[in-house]
Every structure is written in structure tokens, then in C-alpha cells.
Copies of this chain bind each other. A is one copy, B any other.
Amino acid sequence: MKQPSPLSEFDLISRYFANLTASRGDVLLGIGDDAALLEVPPGMALAVSIDTLVAGVHFFADVSPESLGHKSLAVNLSDLAAMGAEPVWATLALTLPEANPSWLEAFVRGFSRLAAIHGVALVGGDTTRGPLSITVQIHGFVPVGQALRRSGARVGDRIYVTGSLGEAALALKRLQAGAGEGLSVELRQRLEMPQPRIEAGLSLRSLANSAIDLSDGLQADLGHILAASGVGARIRLQQLPLCSTVMDWIAKTGEWDQVLAGGDDYELCFTAAADRHDEIQQLSQKLNLAMSHIGEVESMPGLRVIKPDGQPWLATKRGFDHFATPGSGVSDG
């Protein structure tokens, strides 16, 4: 079952990955043995998350490899942000149809730039031959008992989202429609180069009661918080943070689905007690990152989405779900 090609597996690893990212004192032994050896400081929990990106499912096969390197780490960092954890180490399992040095160099450039920004060391990896696919596991530290969980939302909490929503979904829609050439750099970057909200997550540890990152769409992801917390919620469409491009697009089409059920925002959605509002506004200013109050946690189960006219909005599609039934509507209570 060998399928030979011109570059050896070990060459690949040592040439591109060995000194890729941050160097850290808590890495006792990095790439090059049967396992990496790592040290977790006393009092810290280790937070881990693993995600796979598959060509043709999560990205277009012809996407820039530099963007792909960035995004494959970013989506994992976003999970740590949602836990309030500080990123420390990553492992990378890379399946490639062929050994293409220039593709690999660009991929590593995107991956390592983001890793360096967040002080992440690449500590282990595997390269295999096969259909293009990237699996990254991220590892972070969070003081025991201080992680942000999905299950902490309380009735009366305000619901917030960072940044703005819907741009990645709109970019994807345009690329799928073959309108990639007219796509603005900003919109494309929201899809291909998401910025994980690590700093926000760390600061929110002492402010928020619950958090999640928005990868599958606001409706689905907020739904996870509600289910885990045993509560319901009400959000108002006119309070959702939207850039002018998305606002124009909704004004033209009326398709709120793009914002509520579109994936890939990689913003944080969190809930906090109403009396923390001023502190959250101060944090928002300090980080230069919008934190918009979009609704409230309620005791009645379900998510109620309110239109500008005060009437309930009825969903027509749900969050991104690779194995979902087509056209299965979600009731919003």
C-alpha cells in the first residue's frame, strides 16, 4: 500500500516543522521521538480540542495554502478562547495528496505566523499521503475551576457576541456562486483568516458565566449554551452586530439565515450577569473589539429570535452540520 513520491516523510517533518513555532520551557521534548514530553504547571487544567478541516468540505481545494495554515490553527485557538484558556502547544496531522514543497512552505508560513502571535509551540505531528486534510489539536492552560463553560448561563444573564457576524458566510456564498473575483479582501479574510478571540476569552474568565465560539452559526451555538445550561433565551435581530456589507445584503434579500445559521464567524458568544455590563464595555474598549449585547437568558426553554417589528422570526435552516438532514427546519419556540 505504499505510494511513493519524491520527498520522504521524515524529510518533510524535519524540513518544515521542526523549528516552526514558539519555543517554550514547558516542552521537555519536542518533535522527533515517539511522543512529545510536556509539563503542565501546578494549579492549571490542561484544555484540549481537536478539529479536522477537509478539502471540499471545509475549504475549497484551491484555497491559498497560507490561509489554510492560518485557519487550521485558528479554528482550534477559537475553541480555547471560548474556554478562557491560554494556548501553549499544538500538534498537526497533515494528509497531503503529494509532497509539494512550495505548497508546504506557504502552509507552514500561515500556521507558524499565527502560532508565534499566540506563543504556541508545535510539539508533534504526522504527515501521511492521502486526500488533503488537516487535523490540529490545540492545548492550553486555564486555572482549575476558572474555565468558561457552556453550562454556566443563568436566567437574567445578558447575551453578548464579539466582533461582527455573517461576513464569512456571505463570503462563502459568493465564492460558491462563482463570484470570487468581486469579493473584497475584508470579506474573504473573514472566511479564510479568522482571528481567534484569545485575549477576549482570557479577560472574560472573571466576567462571563458561559461562553462558546461561533463556528456553526449563532443559532446553533447559542443553542448549545442554552441546552447545556438548561435555560432559554431571547435575542433581537436589530441588535446583532453587522458590517455594512452584510446589512446591505440583508436589506436586499431579507435572508437573516446567513447571519443566524451561517458558520465560520469564530467570534465568541457569551453570557454575563447584567451588573457586569459596564466592565464588559470597558473590556471591549481596551481590546478594541466590539462586544454587543444581543439579548437575555430566560427560564423558558428554546431560543426566541425577535424581528425589528417585534414579531418572532422563524428559522429556515440550521447551523453548519456535516451530517445534517437537508431542509430540516429548527423551531425557535
Distance to closest chain B CB from A45 (angstroms): 4
Q: Are A126 and B40 in contact (CB under 8 A)?
A: no
A5 located at the interface, meaning its Cβ lies under 8 Å from any Cβ of chain B in the complex: yes
Q: Are B324 and A54 in contact (CB under 8 A)?
A: no
Distance to closest chain B CB from A294 (angstroms): 19
Q: Are A48 and B38 in contact (CB under 8 A)?
A: yes
Distance to closest chain B CB from A73 (angstroms): 14
A95 contact set on B, CB distance < 8 A: 52, 54, 133
Q: Are B29 and A172 in contact (CB under 8 A)?
A: no
A157 located at the interface, meaning its Cβ lies under 8 Å from any Cβ of chain B in the complex: no
A142 located at the interface, meaning its Cβ lies under 8 Å from any Cβ of chain B in the complex: yes
> With the chains together, A291 CA to B150 CA distance in Å?
50
Q: Are B149 and A322 in contact (CB under 8 A)?
A: no
A110 located at the interface, meaning its Cβ lies under 8 Å from any Cβ of chain B in the complex: no
Interface string of A172-209 (1 = CB under 8 A from B): 10001000000000000000000000000000000000
With A39-B45, A40-B46, A57-B1 as contacts: A228 and B32 at CB distance below 8 Å: yes
Distance to closest chain B CB from A79 (angstroms): 4
Mark out the residues of chain A between 69 and 123 whose CB falls within 8 Å of any chain B CB in the assembled complex. Answer: 79-80, 82-83, 85, 91-93, 95, 99, 123
A286 contact set on B, CB distance < 8 A: none
Distance to closest chain B CB from A225 (angstroms): 10
Q: Are A39 and B133 in contact (CB under 8 A)?
A: no
> With the chains together, A213 CA to B321 CA distance in Å?
38
A320 located at the interface, meaning its Cβ lies under 8 Å from any Cβ of chain B in the complex: yes
A29 contact set on B, CB distance < 8 A: 147, 149
With A46-B37, A213-B34 as contacts: A130 and B323 at CB distance below 8 Å: no
Q: Are A51 and B93 in contact (CB under 8 A)?
A: yes
Distance to closest chain B CB from A226 (angstroms): 14
> With the chains together, A91 CA to B46 CA distance in Å?
14
Chain B residue with Cβ nearest A210: B33
> With the chains together, A139 CA to B139 CA distance in Å?
12
Interface string of A39-50 (1 = CB under 8 A from B): 110100111111
Which candidate, A6-14, A241-249, A251-259, A271-279, is the interface stretch facing chain B?
A6-14
> With the chains together, A46 CA to B28 CA distance in Å?
9
Which of B10, B91, B150, B176 contacts A33 (CB under 8 A)? B150
> With the chains together, A290 CA to B1 CA distance in Å?
29
Q: Are B323 and A5 in contact (CB under 8 A)?
A: yes
Q: Are B321 and A124 in contact (CB under 8 A)?
A: no
A137 contact set on B, CB distance < 8 A: 50, 91, 137
A52 contact set on B, CB distance < 8 A: 93, 95, 126, 128, 130, 135
Distance to closest chain B CB from A61 (angstroms): 11
Distance to closest chain B CB from A268 (angstroms): 10
A56 located at the interface, meaning its Cβ lies under 8 Å from any Cβ of chain B in the complex: yes
